[in-house]
Chains A and B, each alone.
Chain A
Amino acid sequence: MPYSLYLPGNSWLHRLHPLTKLAFSLAAAVIIFAGPGEWLSAALPGLLAMLLLWRAGLAWHVASVSFRLLALLSCVLFLVHGFFNPHNQTILLALGPFAIGVEGLAFAALVVLRLAATLFASLLLVVATHPAHLVQALAEARLPYGLAYLLGSPLLLLPQIARRVQAIRDAQQARGLETQGSLLQRARALFPLAAPLIFSALVDVEERSLALEVRGFSAHHPKTSLKELADTPPQRLARWVMLLLAGLLFIAGVWSRTYGGR
């Protein structure tokens, strides 16, 4: 499916229950940002996610997507913090009136590591989980169906939004809008692209909600599903263990930052 991050497949990661993968992603995010020992807490969940993705044959895909998402941002972070971080004391390189500080670079590296690790853990869920199965799993976990759809819809509607962005870009380019070139040119093109996208999306919301209603979205019947989501006692246990571990490491992180003389 074009524009979608989900990769259809039948790897062991695909076959895991969506809530197991969701629990892993959530636990990883908590540990990455709030665990004790900043570097270790940031690195380990990311490494573990990559290892799991590698076992499922999805590591290269995730690495490639992550690189595309993070490359520019990482450069900006290193430049900004290298030059302007207020904690810069150890000068690595002086360029006229400007100097690159080691502390700023280290902070930027930590932020990039956290972002990359979070991305790996999130993509583990996204690339190997059919969005509809995630919504189904959430609904089966007694989350209200509307809320489950709301949580899943950003993934579900991505292809449609991407297609619309393409159509708007084509239409605006046909009228002479420059969407390629320098950063300034791209920034100038942002409003003529974003405004129609937002307005048309708002217009579509009504028709889309009507279409869902006529297909029984809010029907009070107990819902069924075309496919059964396989779940096992070990997976249920693993979910609780992961969430418990995240909770413990969160507390340990808060404790170490409060009393550890950070």
Chain B
Amino acid sequence: MAVVEVQGLSYTYPGADSPALKDISFQVEAGQLLAVIGANGAGKSSLCLALAGLIPTLFHGQMQGAVTVCGLDTRQHHPGQFAGRVGLVLQNPANQLSGMRYTVYEEVAFGLENLGTPRQEMPARIENALQQVGLAGLGERSPYTLSGGQQQRLALASILAMQPNVLVLDEPTAMLDPQGSQALFTIIYKLARAGTTVIIAEHHLEWIASFADRVIALAEGSLFLDGAPGEVLSSPRLLQAGIGWLRYTRAAHLGQDRGVWPVNRALPVTLNQAVKGFQTAQLYLPGQEQDHADPD
């Protein structure tokens, strides 16, 4: 069942000359982990805002097409009606703190209070959310004393406590160090495997290759690729769009020229695929019969 349906979405910000999103259509099934990739300015953030119900209502630009999330049309409902159904995590951890709470525990409660959650339900939901993101012992700490990675996990916990059907993450690791990024990726993957629908705009292609169910690629506001990670991330069209390939894909592509990777074999997008592929590959000359085992 599709929880997100995007039909012919085009959107132009007020005062902009060209649209940020151009005729985008796709659906996301419940429980799917969808990755959105694209160069800077490709429209990833705009798409995330549209999926969270913030575009067009808060931005007042020109929108064509329709976005339906959890059965609600974003043109006909206020962003407040999407809170609790769609959670959005942004890039900058510090800007996502409400600024209204002195402890981590209270910070997580902020969204619940806004949704009118009964007071007696709050402790269990807060503790569960903090547990999910690995901040269970830090409930009494000030949000401002946390590291960037911990603050981003707090932002995620604040959203998770609201129990959204769809989780949208707009480059959540953009301002984190590798350790913080890895911790966050692990949590996101666990959430997705537990059945949460996750849509993540991300530059970490390696993580996407390993864990996403599906990938869509944007360039200049248009969706130009939509498919499985292996298919999308090895497409030559990523090079034209300025996204580039993973090093394993590049290595195998070079290997094709030098006769160590068969031209008719799919290019790898993970380390495992590359290792297995190179292990089983044999030197061959163009025109020779090739018989290679599938590296997967």
A binding-site residues for B, Cβ under 8 Å: 1-2, 4, 6, 8, 130-132, 135, 149, 152-153, 156-157, 159-160, 163, 204, 207-226, 228
- Residues of A near B280 (CB, < 8 A) are none
Q: Which of B80-88, B207-215, B224-232 is the interface stretch?
A: B80-88
Would you call B100 and A214 a contact (CB within 8 A)?
no
Q: Given A210-B90, A226-B119, 4 other A-B contacts at CB below 8 A?
A: A157-B99, A159-B144, A211-B96, A217-B80
Contact A223/B87 with A160-B94, A207-B95, A216-B162 known, Cβ cut-off 8 Å: no
Instruction: Tally chain B residues at the interface, Cβ within 8 Å.
Output: 46
Give the distance in Å from the alpha carbon of A204 to the alpha carbon of B99 in the complex: 13
Interchain Cβ contacts under 8 Å between A and B, 18 examples: A132-B106, A159-B144, A160-B94, A160-B97, A207-B91, A207-B95, A210-B90, A211-B95, A211-B97, A214-B52, A214-B54, A214-B87, A215-B162, A216-B83, A216-B114, A217-B114, A219-B81, A226-B119
Max count, chain A CB within 10 A of own CB: residue among B86, B102, B112, B116? B102
Max count, chain B CB within 10 A of own CB: residue among A156, A157, A228? A156
Closest 7 A-B residue pairs measured CB to CB? A216-B114, A216-B83, A221-B116, A219-B80, A215-B111, A226-B109, A211-B96
Give the distance in Å from the alpha carbon of A194 to the alpha carbon of B111 in the complex: 33
Does B72 have its Cβ within 8 Å of any Cβ on chain A?
no
For chain B, residues 89 to 122, give those with C-beta under 8 angstroms from any C-beta of chain A.
90-92, 94-102, 106, 109-119, 122
Proximity string of chain B (122-165) to chain A, C-beta cutoff 8 Å, 1 when within and 0 when not: 10000000000000000000101100000000010011001000
Would you call A224 and B90 a contact (CB within 8 A)?
no
Contact of A221 (CB < 8 Å), options: B54, B97, B115: B115
Would you call A214 and B119 a contact (CB within 8 A)?
no
Give the distance in Å from the alpha carbon of A220 to the alpha carbon of B81 in the complex: 8
B binding-site residues for A, Cβ under 8 Å: 49, 52, 54, 58, 78-84, 86-88, 90-92, 94-102, 106, 109-119, 122, 142, 144-145, 155, 158-159, 162
- Expressed in whole angstroms, the minimum distance between the Cβ of A138 and any Cβ of chain B is 12
- Expressed in whole angstroms, the minimum distance between the Cβ of B136 and any Cβ of chain A is 17
- Residues of A near B88 (CB, < 8 A) are 210, 214
- Residues of A near B94 (CB, < 8 A) are 160
- Residues of B near A221 (CB, < 8 A) are 80, 114-116
Would you call A219 and B99 a contact (CB within 8 A)?
no
Contact A228/B119 with A210-B88, A215-B110, A215-B111 known, Cβ cut-off 8 Å: yes
Would you call B54 and A225 a contact (CB within 8 A)?
no
Would you call B159 and A214 a contact (CB within 8 A)?
yes
Give the distance in Å from the alpha carbon of A153 to the alpha carbon of B79 in the complex: 22
- Residues of B near A207 (CB, < 8 A) are 90-92, 95-96
- Expressed in whole angstroms, the minimum distance between the Cβ of B143 and any Cβ of chain A is 9
- Residues of A near B142 (CB, < 8 A) are 1
Would you call A132 and B84 a contact (CB within 8 A)?
no
Would you call B100 and A219 a contact (CB within 8 A)?
no
Would you call A223 and B114 a contact (CB within 8 A)?
yes
Using CB atoms, name the residue of chain B closest to A131. B100
Contact A216/B100 with A132-B106, A226-B122, A228-B119 known, Cβ cut-off 8 Å: no
Would you call A208 and B119 a contact (CB within 8 A)?
no
Contact A215/B90 with A156-B99, A223-B114 known, Cβ cut-off 8 Å: no
- Residues of A near B158 (CB, < 8 A) are 215
- Expressed in whole angstroms, the minimum distance between the Cβ of B202 and any Cβ of chain A is 18
Would you call A132 and B102 a contact (CB within 8 A)?
yes
Using CB atoms, name the residue of chain A closest to B168. A214
- Expressed in whole angstroms, the minimum distance between the Cβ of A41 and any Cβ of chain B is 35
Give the distance in Å from the alpha carbon of A213 to the alpha carbon of B96 in the complex: 10
Using CB atoms, name the residue of chain B closest to A3. B144
